[in-house]
Chain A
């Protein structure tokens, strides 16, 4: 049996906003998410802006403290550890940010950017560090190494910068990496290249990945399993191809219907998409978060929120249509 690397249970990340007549109000960015990531597995978290996917990723890395719920990493509950006790976790879990223009220090050379985490965690001697940097740069194909290592980020293209960000995350030999929209800022022609590179490195080192994206079309080139988020909750989870072929949750159905594939016949068709907007995270609708937009809404959906449950092997959905 494969080991579960990360397991989160009923995770809630709420941010306090203001008091309203003595009552605390919260932005409920993540509101009751449970999921598992196995060793060497890539799980894609898909959702629109404001669905809580980035906050979920940051909470899993303990960059943001959860309001309630548990985070269990390789059998160890890390939810209540303070930052000193988390140092070991900082080595094993890494993040790749969306924007390679703002996530790299403009004052450091590429070599220094890659050396920084090694220095902070007091890993290896100076010579050994240099060897590790060279290997990391080879891994992400920033070669010839001499040409890049003394450059500054502004001298590189977007794709090259994102390679530096990947190298920086992987140089610590992490077991778990959160990649938050790693290709969405890149041009179409390099996007695929970076995606394939990440996939290759993920397989080579057996890293567990949480791939956060709003772009469903890129998911199947990177991961096997997908979790769809809406209003801070996971509404559907399952193997990517099955979910795309036969989406169960009405929101997933709308999301997939809204995505065009390049086909010149598209211009003659009107897409069937629901009106309305994503729920307010401070005052979400009662019951199912999707009920104001759902075409199959029933009384029950307004009164109580459906829980994620297994409909068939490996496929879970949070919708009363399937109970």
Chain B
């Protein structure tokens, strides 16, 4: 359904060019969830913004292929993209969006807005549609008459999810959709997202830094490091048998509640994307470093449904 190939998004800053997204490729089939995980600054949100074409002004280069159901979105003009694609076919739940609801408008109107402005619905029909969507996200229909300050954090987050669903997209990008919420509220929202996935056949790109949370939703996991996907594979493969040294360490660093194990950590810091290290970006922190890792960036190696970016797995 979605096919992203060699996506590049670089920003221009005073210090130099930031290689935020540097050759990202993946595919998502209908109804599938891919988790995009990695530490802060690894390019997860930039990847999402690039797909949604929400670009800041300081873009240095933006290229690659983004195909949605066979149509190359990169060829579309901005106007056409926002008219036909954005929100209708791909929508997004932004990080912290629940805090950017308009405080002086009733939430029902805020959710209905695109229907009224772009689709020419009248208020009554639009609100009827809104109530249907509110039911999907498990909010009472009376909520349409409320103002954001009357709602709790969890309810606001559901409103934001409703906004993403109102135009009936088949792919929803979720950028840290539960990051500011309490664990019990978070679990409730994750339950709703799981239900929606089943009942509407939605595909998700689920962006998170939290691996336990990723396992709640992901069929497939892409691990990003320094603007690149270093490992991509089925959730079972990534969680149970990680191959890339970074993935392996990242999983070993997650505290678990029910099992006891010694945690590991990754010494050093994530790479500077303005002056990235030569060769493999992970080499300064990697325990299995070879000479070649410092000199040449590795090429992706495919193993069945898995793809790894590491010299350890390169076939000679």
Contacts and interface: CB of A to CB of B under 8 A. Distances in A.
**Chains A and B bind each other:** yes
Interface of A: 48-49, 157, 159, 187-193, 195-196, 214-218, 220-221, 244, 254-264, 266-267, 270-271, 273-275, 277-278
Interface string B237-260: 011100000000111011111111
B212 A188 contact: no
Nearest to A190: B265
Contact of B40 (A187, A218, A275): A187
B198 to A, nearest CB: 10
B265 A196 contact: yes
Nearest to B197: A267
A48 B182 contact: yes
A258 to B, nearest CB: 4
B110 interface: no
B117 interface: no
Contacts of B250: 188-189
B188 A264 contact: no
Contacts of B238: 264
A254 B210 CA distance: 20
A2 B52 CA distance: 60
Contacts of B214: 262
Nearest to B246: A189
B178 to A, nearest CB: 11
Contact of B216 (A157, A190, A266, A274): A266
Interface in B236-288: 236, 238-240, 249-251, 253-260, 263-267, 269-270
5 contacts: A159-B269, A216-B257, A264-B218, A264-B239, A267-B235
A264 to B, nearest CB: 4
Contacts of B211: 188, 262
Given A189-B265, A277-B154, A267 B257 contact: no
B161 to A, nearest CB: 16
B253 A271 contact: no
Contacts of B33: 267
A262 to B, nearest CB: 5
The winner among B213, B214, B269 for most chain A CB atoms within 10 A is B269
Contacts of A277: 152-154, 185
